[in-house]
Amino acid sequence: MPSIAPKWLGAGMLIATLALAGCLGEGPETEQSDRGAISSYLDGNLELGEVEALSLDAGDQVNLAFRLTDADGRPVAGERLAVLSRAGNLITHPAPRTDDDGYARTRLLAQRGGQDTLEVTAPGDIKGELRLRVGGDEANGHEDHQVGEAQVPEREDVVSWSRLGALETWEEDDLLAAEFPDDIQALEGRTIRVQGFMMPLEQGDRQRHFLLSKSTPSCFYCAPGGPESVVEIKADRGLAFTFDALVLEGELELLDPNEMGMFYRLKNARKAD
């Protein structure tokens, strides 16, 4: 069976290959149980119908929509779904909420070569899945190709991660505390610039509250380093999600021991020119 290759619209979208069920082996249609069902679609290409499997290359990005329906096939609005990649591919919004038409939207970055399954669950133990096949680094013969873990280049106009990481830490009342060096303490309350990769904390393509990381994360749930390698961002307006490194400027706040385990916060942050 031939593959269909739709071209995604929007910044950063790559060409992905949609493999229909016959391309990856026969798979059952979504079954409507007595509790409901979850079906998978390509967001922005809903007219293609339900998708059971995708064939991608490592590094491809694709927008997905999962539709929750009740036992009678009617859309269910306002429910939060949980989306998990068994192989650890990056899900930018792992807990999207369904809209009035029952669709919950997220974005996938294919990082790990080989077979994968996205598991989607909803309240009431309603489950769905989407099978993936991600092409690895064929030139080197790798079956498990890892995309990511890139680090930003050094820039003179930003506070470097090596400076932010030069602190002493210890546990205090089950929380992680830190002693900041004098040069970092002198920056508190001042407008500085930092550079890194976005880790979303909210749903949607525009983010006001997110983390900025020293390196690209290996999975959504795992920062690629300790708390000294992440800055909490409170932006003055929503910033478009991107997998590329970005430079932000804002007011630096040094944080007391807290449950989030953050040492740094950038307030009123915005993209630097």
Q: What is the DSSP string of 3-46?
A: -B-PBPPSTT--B-BB--GGGS---PPPP--SS-EEEEEETT-G
- Where does the chain hold its CATH 2.40.50.870 domain(s)? 161-271
Considering the domain 21-135 in this protein, what is its CATH number? Answer: 2.60.40.10
Q: What is the pLDDT of residue 257?
A: 78
- Where does the chain hold its CATH 2.60.40.10 domain(s)? 21-135
Rounded to whole angstroms, the Cα distance separating 97 from 62 reads 18
**Which residues, in sequence order, are CB contacts of 87 under 8 Å at separation 6+?**
112, 114, 115, 116, 117, 132, 134
Number of C-alpha atoms within 13 angstroms, CB side, residue 130?
29
Q: What is the pLDDT of residue 4?
A: 28
Q: Give the residues of the chain that fall short of pLDDT 50.
A: 1-30, 137-149, 218-222
Number of C-alpha atoms within 13 angstroms, CB side, residue 116?
30
Determine if the pTM surpasses 0.85. no
Q: What is the pLDDT of residue 27?
A: 39
Q: What is the pLDDT of residue 136?
A: 58
CATH class of 161-271: mainly beta
